């Protein structure tokens, strides 16, 4: 077993009874490998009485050498945001649908985790986004996002207007349904549906993807991950800022949304033979005959 992974956190999809059987099966396998197992409180609540150490989620991140997430990409996004400051390696077992981030199947879970414990894995670092909202110079909100930061129109349905600055330089004013600032991980999420490019995770860039812009010449652009992106609301109506579609914040006119790269990366571990391009072919159904 890799000496790096003596303490492993097991985290299951919130409020899903489907995690109980695979989680207990994996826990039994890990016990046989002499691993110290940690459960977060929500996961432990699904499992019921057990002999494992139960901690708040953040404490699992602080103490675990590796966290194994059983769920879908939404679960992985949540854990990634929480564990980012702790340099905890993450592995995803797919209990969801697409599984861009959770690439281990339930059928081969124990075998594949065993290979990782033996040191047979590849490491991929993924960047996160740090976002802040300012009103009249005062910070009102701060949050992390793994996929994207989105400004969108509200239920009233009218276009919103905003200005975009990058590193203090004016880029454009835009009337649209919104704009997406995406990390490379988020390039296969909402940004892809809005016409943005797919970015390999190793590319250190952020993309700005307009959503239904009034001027069709406004196209997606990519900027350095070292850039500071500022979006200033001019006509807000009931505009909202969304962060991984997990956290939300109501925007007012003249509010300023600032997006930067977060100081820490997420380390994703992949099993032997993992290929990003194979994953894209599989999830996006490329090369299929019609």
Q: Which residues are catalytic?
A: 73
Nearest C-alpha neighbor of 55 from the set 36, 40, 70: 40
Burial pattern 234-268, b for ≥16 Cβ within 10 A else e, equals: eebbebbbbbbeeeebebeeebbbbbbbbebebbb
Please give the helix or strand (H or E) that residue 240 lies within, else none. Answer: strand 240-243
Q: Collect all residues with Cβ–Cβ distance below 8 Å to 254 and sequence separation of at least 6.
A: 135, 136, 232, 233, 234
Largest CA distance in the chain: 61
Contact 177, 160 (CB under 8 A): yes
Sheet of strand 256-261: strand arrangement: 138-145, 129-135, 256-261, 229-235, 160-166, 169-176
Contact 132, 109 (CB under 8 A): no
Strand pairing class (66-71; 7-12)? parallel
Tell me the C-alpha distance between 171 and 220, whole Å. Answer: 12
């Amino acid at each position: 077993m890799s000496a790096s992974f003596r303490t492993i956190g097991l985290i299951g999809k919130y409020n899903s009874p489907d995690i109980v059987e695979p989680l207990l099966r994996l826990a039994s396998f890990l016990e046989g490998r002499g691993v110290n197992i940690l459960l977060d409180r929500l996961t432990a609540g699904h499992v019921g009485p057990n002999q494992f150490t139960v901690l708040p989620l953040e404490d699992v991140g602080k103490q675990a050498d590796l966290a194994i997430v059983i769920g879908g990409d939404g679960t992985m996004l949540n854990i990634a945001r929480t564990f980012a400051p702790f340099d905890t390696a993450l592995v995803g077992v797919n209990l969801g649908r697409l599984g861009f981030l959770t690439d281990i199947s339930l059928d081969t879970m124990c075998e594949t985790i065993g290979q990782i414990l033996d040191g047979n894995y590849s490491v991929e670092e993924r960047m996160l986004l740090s976002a802040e909202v300012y009103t009249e110079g005062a910070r009102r909100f701060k949050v992390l996002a793994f996929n994207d930061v989105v400004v969108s129109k509200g239920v009233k349905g009218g276009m919103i207007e905003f200005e975009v600055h990058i590193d203090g330089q004016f880029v454009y004013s835009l009337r649209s349904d919104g704009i997406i600032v995406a990390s490379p991980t988020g390039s296969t999420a909402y940004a892809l549906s809005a016409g943005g490019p797919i970015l390999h995770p190793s590319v250190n860039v952020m993309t700005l993807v307009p959503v239904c812009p009034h001027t069709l010449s406004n196209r997606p652009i990519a900027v350095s991950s070292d850039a500071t992106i500022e979006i200033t609301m001019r006509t807000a109506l009931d505009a909202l800022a969304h962060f991984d579609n997990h956290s939300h914040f109501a925007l007012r006119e003249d509010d300023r949304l600032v997006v930067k790269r977060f100081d820490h990366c997420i380390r994703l571990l992949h099993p032997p033979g993992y290929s990003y391009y194979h994953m894209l072919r599989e999830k996006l159904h490329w090369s299929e005959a019609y």
